[in-house]
A and B are shown apart, each in its own frame.
Chain A
Amino acid sequence: MANLQELLKAKSETILEHWFDLIIATYPAESVQYFKRTKDAFQNPVGHTIHREMKAVFDELLTGLDRERVSPFVDRIVRIRAVQDYAPSQAVGFVLGLKQVVRKALAKELEAAAGARGLLDQLTDFESRVDELALIAFDIYMACRQKIYEIQAQEVKSMYYNVLRRADILCPIPEQEEPDMPPEK
């Protein structure tokens, strides 16, 4: 019986290349070439980060899916997309695109396995993990957005704190040795 994991490993280069293309194609056409061509991690942090982290994510998907282990990789991609001009679905949708890429890469093998459940069952398992990954990406996306709002609120809060402090209308609570409790009856 064909082993999906081995097939994916063997074709990983093609799969990653197509997955990368799919993600990068969400940027305007004039910019795609730059994101693909520029290899320098500092001149092209977006393209470089996506390339590096999706490889790590894919390796993780091959063996299972450990949320804790995979999250930092997904975080680095999603953190970028969370501040770019994307709707939430667009920011995390690249994860689901992997299903399309994998099916395309395995078209022949799937055709040959028609009727036999083995490979398809394994593929279904794999795709469930991709779905789970999409949910993880969504959690991270929300955490990033939450962070933006927190920072925004913090900026305002610290400004007001400085105003109040300067206006000398804050009453500092002195540190107390023991809590000031009402006497027990």
Chain B
Amino acid sequence: MATQTPKPQEIAKGLSHQPPSENWMDTKPEFRSGMYCHPVKVASLEGMGGAFAREWNPTEADWKLPADWKGIVKDGLKDRLRRFRSFQVFMDICVRCGACADKCHFFIGTGDPKNMPVLRAELIRSIYRGEFRTAGKILGKLAGGRKLTEEVIKEWFYYFFQCTECRRCSVFCPYGIDTAEITIIAREILNLLGLQIDWIGTPVNACYHVGNHLGLKPHTFKENIEYLLGDIEENVGITIEPSFNRKGAEILFVTPSGDVFADPGIFTCMSYLILFEYLGLDYTWSTYASEGGNFGFFTSNETMKRLNYKMYAESKRLGVKWILGGECGHMWRVVHQYMDTMNGPADHLEVPRSPITGTVFENAKSTKMVHVTEFTADLIKNGKLNLDKSRNDHYTVTWHDSCNTSRGFGFLEEPRYVLRNVVNNFYEMPDQTIREQTFCCGSGSGLNAGENLEQRFRGGLPRANAVQFVHEKHGVNMLANICAIDRAALKPLMDYWVPAVNVCGLSELVANALVIPGEKAARSTNLRGEEINDLREEAGLEPIEWPEEDEEGGEAGEEGEE
């Protein structure tokens, strides 16, 4: 009988899932649905004057590369090594110490070694050695070099569009190698072959020609905001009439177009409108510079410059004094790190000065652009806002530092200061997942497409894991942030990993807490149209006594005034 008992190795023997042990240079990526982004549309690439626009499919063997693709890549590399000293240094200096290896959210979430920042950079560094350096040319693999093949290009496309340029790895590199900049260069080179993804290429084209990533035409952009004004009137009970393209306004306000169109960004947008109305700010929207985001940043530095210039050209045309910017991530990295040398200094503008508090924003002396959170923090500090933070008591909030505003803009304390002034229940995620060490949402740098959702979910795993921890420990039910991509990307990420947690912009919490003079009965609902007292009841809180409905009815009252 006992002889019939299977041996351990005979049990489930068809289920050996150990991957083959191969040198990384010999493994190839598999383009599986859900794990990559669709190629750019021909019209979008042509619209920006991009090279080699064509129909092609990553899952097919033939990517229809231009005849001299090898020469183009080599020349492109050589040109960038010459022009960008940092790139040359990053190619030569890495000692492969491994400090960055386990710091990438994509590596942590996938376990794919080519997502280790060191190896991601090695994908291009090995070509640099194999094609440009004598030792690598002669010794090949032994000297860490390899030859440029079509397979290498496919690998680049797979892995450089699986890096969100979040720069978490660079925080840990003893040499300060910025792998994001290596990704930026790699994408530039892929662009030379017409290899771009649609989620970047189409918004860039729309932004350049129409004014914003979504391609909302001027009148549509205006109507969209008017729609939000209708919602504000219904849910908050105040009537706002903002101006558009108004010459002579003191301030030009620019925010990512996602705020104007998509959930939950629109609630952030409504909040800006309410805050500015409360302050009586002399500002205007532009239907031409109707985009704060800059997907050009994910394309090439030239494209980034073109899109960034639009905001400044519009500020000149309208004759405003300075620019106020909304809650966006990479917009601020571009403004903070690149604008000044690309399009600056913005001498046609004045050093921003808050008309409400008189504070002069010396830090924006050259770019003339102030972040709405910094602007709000200054208002709070000077006691200019009547805030009742208990109005947010049904939320237990945690703070997600967006990569671009924290690591790329040094914005760590300002949002926390605002948050502490508008909510009572705020809990930080663990230290190693916030501030400079924050984990990316997994969808930055143009990767928040719909078709690569699984890739985004695994990239966002470390972030979600930390949110889950504070959700279980402190009952966190709201993940606040100041980035339009975060607002769009974290929502589905939470739906998958921690469904009990919702997502909002910081300004939304400010608007919730704002006590507006002459508040009406409509204030009993929040910007999302939810009854605030219902939410409070669910959270076991006492109801708020909101103003009674006007007996004459809102409409009758308005007629009477006329």
**A contacts, CB < 8 Å to B:** 25-31, 34-35, 38, 40-46, 49, 79-80, 83-86, 89-90, 93, 96-97, 99-101, 103-104, 107, 110, 113-115, 117, 120, 144, 147-148, 151-152, 154-156, 158-159, 162, 165-166
Those 9 A-B pairs whose CB atoms lie nearest each other, nearest first: A114-B2, A30-B113, A45-B465, A103-B8, A27-B111, A96-B12, A93-B15, A104-B8, A31-B111
Q: Are A85 and B465 in contact (CB under 8 A)?
A: no
Identify the stretch in B76-84, B102-110, B180-188, B232-240 within 8 Å (CB) of chain A at 4 or more residues.
Answer: B102-110
Chain B residues touching A, majority SS: helix
Q: Is B218's beta carbon under 8 Å from chain A?
A: no
In the bound complex, what is the Cα–Cα distance between A89 and B261 (angstroms)?
41
Q: Are A93 and B466 in contact (CB under 8 A)?
A: no
In the bound complex, what is the Cα–Cα distance between A155 and B12 (angstroms)?
39
Q: Are A84 and B7 in contact (CB under 8 A)?
A: no
Central interface residue in B21, B108, B263, by most chain A CB within 10 Å:
B108
* Residue in B11, B35, B465, B466 whose CB lies within 8 Å of A96: B11
Binary flags per residue of B86-120, CB closer than 8 Å to A gives 1, else 0: 00000000000000011000011111110010000
Q: Is B433's beta carbon under 8 Å from chain A?
A: yes
Q: Are A148 and B227 in contact (CB under 8 A)?
A: no
Q: A30-B113, A80-B458, A120-B1 are in contact. List 4 more A-B contacts (CB 8 A).
A: A26-B19, A28-B19, A115-B1, A156-B450
Interchain nearest-CB distance for A44 vs B (Å): 7
Chain B residues lying within 8 Å of A147, measured Cβ to Cβ, are 495-496
Interchain nearest-CB distance for B498 vs A (Å): 11
**B contacts, CB < 8 Å to A:** 1-2, 5-9, 11-12, 15, 17-19, 21, 24, 30, 32, 34-35, 101-102, 107-113, 116, 223-224, 227, 261-263, 430, 432-433, 450, 453-454, 457-458, 461-462, 465-466, 469, 492, 495-497
Interchain nearest-CB distance for A82 vs B (Å): 8
Q: Are A28 and B101 in contact (CB under 8 A)?
A: no
Interchain nearest-CB distance for A137 vs B (Å): 13
Chain A residues lying within 8 Å of B461, measured Cβ to Cβ, are 45-46, 80, 83
In the bound complex, what is the Cα–Cα distance between A49 and B261 (angstroms)?
37
Q: Are A148 and B262 in contact (CB under 8 A)?
A: no
Q: Are A110 and B496 in contact (CB under 8 A)?
A: no
In the bound complex, what is the Cα–Cα distance between A94 and B496 (angstroms)?
22
Closest B residue to A158 by beta carbon equals B263
In the bound complex, what is the Cα–Cα distance between A101 and B11 (angstroms)?
9
Q: Are A84 and B110 in contact (CB under 8 A)?
A: yes
Central interface residue in B15, B116, B262, B433, by most chain A CB within 10 Å:
B15
Q: Are A162 and B466 in contact (CB under 8 A)?
A: no
Given A103-B11, A162-B262, A152-B108 contact (CB < 8 Å): no
* Residue in B2, B112, B465 whose CB lies within 8 Å of A42: B465
Given A28-B19, A30-B113, A46-B111, A83-B469 contact (CB < 8 Å): no
Closest A residue to B266 by beta carbon equals A162
Instruction: Give me 24 A-to-B residue pairs in the complex whose CB atoms sit less than 8 angstroms apart, sorted by A's number.
Output: A26-B19, A30-B113, A38-B102, A40-B432, A42-B462, A43-B102, A43-B108, A44-B108, A79-B497, A80-B461, A83-B496, A84-B110, A90-B17, A93-B12, A93-B17, A100-B8, A110-B5, A147-B496, A148-B457, A151-B453, A151-B495, A155-B492, A166-B223, A166-B224
Q: Are B1 and A83 in contact (CB under 8 A)?
A: no
* Residue in B9, B18, B458 whose CB lies within 8 Å of A84: B458
Chain A residues lying within 8 Å of B5, measured Cβ to Cβ, are 110, 120
Chain B residues lying within 8 Å of A96, measured Cβ to Cβ, are 11-12, 15
Interchain nearest-CB distance for A30 vs B (Å): 4
Closest B residue to A104 by beta carbon equals B8
Chain B residues lying within 8 Å of A79, measured Cβ to Cβ, are 496-497
* Residue in A29, A113, A144, A162 whose CB lies within 8 Å of B19: A29
Given A44-B108, A46-B108, A103-B7, A83-B113 contact (CB < 8 Å): no
Q: Are B113 and A85 in contact (CB under 8 A)?
A: no
Interchain nearest-CB distance for B456 vs A (Å): 9
Chain A residues lying within 8 Å of B101, measured Cβ to Cβ, are 34
Interchain nearest-CB distance for B49 vs A (Å): 29
In the bound complex, what is the Cα–Cα distance between A15 and B466 (angstroms)?
29
In the bound complex, what is the Cα–Cα distance between A184 and B339 (angstroms)?
73
Q: Are B433 and A35 in contact (CB under 8 A)?
A: no
Interchain nearest-CB distance for B290 vs A (Å): 15
Q: Are A100 and B12 in contact (CB under 8 A)?
A: yes
In the bound complex, what is the Cα–Cα distance between A27 and B466 (angstroms)?
23
In the bound complex, what is the Cα–Cα distance between A178 and B227 (angstroms)?
31
Chain A residues lying within 8 Å of B263, measured Cβ to Cβ, are 158, 162
Q: Are B18 and A26 in contact (CB under 8 A)?
A: yes
Q: Are A84 and B469 in contact (CB under 8 A)?
A: no
Interchain nearest-CB distance for A101 vs B (Å): 8
Chain A residues lying within 8 Å of B432, measured Cβ to Cβ, are 40, 42-43
Chain B residues lying within 8 Å of A40, measured Cβ to Cβ, are 432
